[in-house]
Amino acid sequence: MRISTSQLYQQSVDAMLQKQRELSETELQVASGKRILTPSDDPSASVRILDLKEAEQRLGQFQRNADAATSRLAQEEAAIEGIQDLLQRVRELAVQGNSDTYGTVDRTAIASEVRALASNFLQLANTRDANGEYIFAGFKSDQPPFDTVGGSLNYHGDDGQRRVQIGESREVAMGDSGRVFTDFSGAAGGVTNVWNVLDSLADNLEANSGDQNALADIDTAMERLLNVRANIGARMNAIDDQKTANEAFELAVADVKSTLEDVDYAEAISRFNQQLTALQASQQAFIRVQDLSLFNYLR
């Protein structure tokens, strides 16, 4: 079988080009730190890497949700704590107002402070979060949940609780509706709310009369808010636990992904040196092939 000079040339060129491609691919792996440059390099691993990247994205979203829920719950807790402190002060004033040692002037002064505290309660009940949403309005968070038009407390929100996913199978409520301040049993019968208790106390004090029911109603309201704060604390603890679990899962996912896609630098550099030597040998062989033409000896 005859082998023409052009065939020898082409075979040598093809061999050099192949070795250059291999060398270039290894060089890219070392530069990028990635073993897989295209899905065709390892189809099975590429599919797994895509799944792991999606898992990382989900975990990142869960962590952002958890941070948002923590921030909102912290704001709610601060508002409720402020109302608890406010009610504690009102209770002290109610005790003073029920004392026979206080007269009309004293009770009028106490009533003025109670009304100021009632106004503070309304402001706290209409607290907004960092996004400008009213935290005690349920799903109707774009409008103030409370006003006192008509002389009594009016609630314009709903009973909705916004929930966010903080884990693959875990959700948490980001807040509570304004019902936490309303619809509790009054000492005089029926249902009442925090603002009406304060308003009624102020009315009685301005009429130079104590309010025996006010103390019981304030205690009922404070007990409810204490339970709400306990529930908020439980949710925040659950969020912290889930964030810790998410972080551990993120590390595990990152470790598996690194095993699949990250290059082994020691192996890659060793392979690069071998491929470079092979390419240089191929180039030297091509030079020798050039001298095999019969025309070189007919000159």
Any domain includes 58 = no
Both 211 and 106 in one domain: the answer is yes
Contacts of 29 (CB under 8 A, 6+ apart): 35, 37, 263, 268
Any domain includes 64 = no
C-alpha–C-alpha distance, residues 87 and 219, integer Å: 9
Any domain includes 61 = no
Both 269 and 247 in one domain: the answer is no
Q: What is the pTM of this model?
A: 0.76
Contacts of 193 (CB under 8 A, 6+ apart): 153, 181, 182, 183, 184
Both 251 and 117 in one domain: the answer is yes
Instruction: Please give the chain's pLDDT, 299 residues, in tens.
Output: 455 556 656 666 666 666 667 656 766 766 666 766 677 667 887 888 888 889 999 999 999 999 999 999 999 999 999 999 999 999 999 999 988 888 899 999 999 999 999 999 999 999 999 889 999 999 999 999 999 998 999 999 999 999 999 999 899 999 999 999 999 999 988 999 999 999 999 999 999 988 889 999 999 999 999 999 999 999 999 999 999 999 999 999 988 887 777 665 666 667 666 766 766 666 666 666 566 555 555 55
Any domain includes 60 = no
42 membership: H or E segment, kind and range: none
Position 48 scores a pLDDT of 86
Torsion, Cα 52 55 57 58, to 10 degrees, reads 180
Q: Side chain identity at 271, as an amino acid letter? A: R
Any domain includes 59 = no
User: Nearest Cα to 119, choosing from 50, 199, 46?
Assistant: 199
Both 109 and 149 in one domain: the answer is yes
Both 15 and 163 in one domain: the answer is no
Both 134 and 27 in one domain: the answer is no
The DSSP output letter for 134 is B
Both 85 and 106 in one domain: the answer is yes
Residues pairing with 154 in the sheet? 147
Both 222 and 76 in one domain: the answer is yes
Both 88 and 18 in one domain: the answer is no
| CATH value at residue 200 | 1.20.1330.10
Both 109 and 240 in one domain: the answer is yes
Alpha helix positions (H), 99-172? 104-125
State the helix-helix crossing angle for 265-290 and 5-32, rounded to 10 degrees: 160
Reading phi first (left if > 0) and then psi (alpha if -120 to 50, else beta), residue 293 is in beta
141 C-beta neighbours (distance < 10 Å), count: 20
Both 163 and 283 in one domain: the answer is no
Both 274 and 252 in one domain: the answer is no
C-alpha–C-alpha distance, residues 73 and 239, integer Å: 11
Which residues span the domain enclosing 227?
Answer: 70-256
Cβ–Cβ under 8 Å, residues 84 and 188: no
Any domain includes 283 = yes
The count of structural domains within the chain is 2
